[in-house]
Amino acid sequence: MDAAGLFRKDLLTEMFSLGLMGIEIPEQHGGQGGNFFQSVLAIEALASVDPSAAVIVDVQNTIANNILLRWGTERQKSKYLPRLATDTVASFALSEAGSGSDAFSLKTRATADGDNFRLTGRKMWITNAAEAGVFFLFANAAPEQGYRGITCFLIERDTSGFKVGKKEDKLGIRASSTCELILDDCVVPAANIVGELGKGYKIAIETLNEGRIAIGGQMTGLAQGALDQAIAYSKQRQQFNQPIANFQSVQFTLAEMATDVEAARLLVYNAARLREAGHPFVTEAAMAKLFASQIAETVASRAVEVFGGVGFTKDFPVEKLYRDAKIGRIYEGTSNMQKLAIAKGLLGKH
């Protein structure tokens, strides 16, 4: 899947059948009736094998499903939650070419037209876009009001004037699709506004704050996978008539890797626990994502070194995990944005 840059449809179907795509969706809507923490655990477990699979489950649960559960109308929930739980991938469309970290300088416009809105613009770097059947897309319906005009729209893939464009050829998580979206006089019913007109900023900020915990879980799982691979290989690789695991330098490397992974895991779990309990968690979520994304890159890199020359080839999975790790410090808020959030939280307490 990594080489082809495609996620297998049979695996996607299996993830739906296992309930992994609707963990928090109530049972009456076809979901598992689980909680946020369970979503994070599933993402972590999947990422230890393939971070691309993990991010598909991540966006579906902690972003898309979460938006609908918290902000959707009863009509929207009844219509879309059963689909999201059973067979329809969802996508979160906020970023644009000129609005990355400055996410709310977006240029996509929504103009009222009777009972509809006409949307025009382009979105970039949209995860799950190739597979998605529905999109939670943000556009500004009142540009003169700045971010207060930003509104979240629920858009069906086959909507006239809406098109999924170019798929990016990426360094890592290649099986997870990242595409541009093109809106050319796309007509969306006003009934498909999620939340209220002008509440898109609040929806996006609150959702991404929670999503960062899940990205921390993804990066922790990735690091655990790299560590597991390194431990297993160190017991098999023979040098100087003994396994390299017998050498203290390798043992110390593994010990440091394991300590970093456990520290990241505890940061992620603590942020998830606070969110689950209804306590303030934004600072802790930023800490979890910042640290977990850093150690994922470091641990994966050291795993490549434990493998030596073969670790630099595509014959072993540590090379892929190393490439996959890089995105953790970029998406759903760069490391610098996490540091700003942490500093803001700290200074606000004192």
**pLDDT tens column, 303-319:** 999 999 999 999 999 99
Domains of the chain: 9-88 (1.10.540.10), 92-198 (2.40.110.10), 202-349 (1.20.140.10)
What pLDDT sits at residue 350? 61
- Measured CA to CA, the distance from residue 10 to residue 179 in angstroms comes to 21
What pLDDT sits at residue 174? 97
What pLDDT sits at residue 102? 86
What pLDDT sits at residue 103? 75
Handedness of CA 123, 290, 174, 156 (dihedral sign): negative
Contact 174, 183 (CB under 8 A): no
Question: Does pLDDT of 101 surpass 90?
Answer: no
- Give the residue from 16, 43, 22 showing the smallest Cα distance to 224: 43
What pLDDT sits at residue 349? 72
- The b/e string for 61-88 (b: 16+ C-beta within 10 A; e otherwise) is bbbbbbbbbebbeeebbebbbbbbbbeb
Threshold 0.85, pTM exceeds: yes
**pLDDT tens column, 252-278:** 999 999 999 999 999 999 999 999 999
Residues near 252 by Cβ (< 8 Å), separated by ≥ 6? Answer: none
> Strand 193-194 to strand 178-189: parallel, antiparallel, or no bridges (unpaired)?
unpaired
Residues near 244 by Cβ (< 8 Å), separated by ≥ 6? Answer: 234, 237, 238, 250, 306
β-bridge mates for residue 193, sequence order: 153
H or E element that contains 178: strand 178-189
What pLDDT sits at residue 100? 82
The residue from 24, 131, 297, 332 that is catalytic is 332
Backbone angles phi, psi at 99, to 5 degrees: -140, 90
In the chain, the N- to C-terminal Cα span, in Å, equals 49
**pLDDT tens column, 53-77:** 999 999 999 999 999 999 999 999 9
Q: Is 332 a catalytic residue?
A: yes
% pLDDT > 90, the chain:
97
- Measured CA to CA, the distance from residue 322 to residue 342 in angstroms comes to 26
- AA identity, residue 311: G
Instruction: Report the length, in residues, of the chain.
Output: 350
What pLDDT sits at residue 317? 96
> Strand 132-140 to strand 116-127: parallel, antiparallel, or no bridges (unpaired)?
unpaired
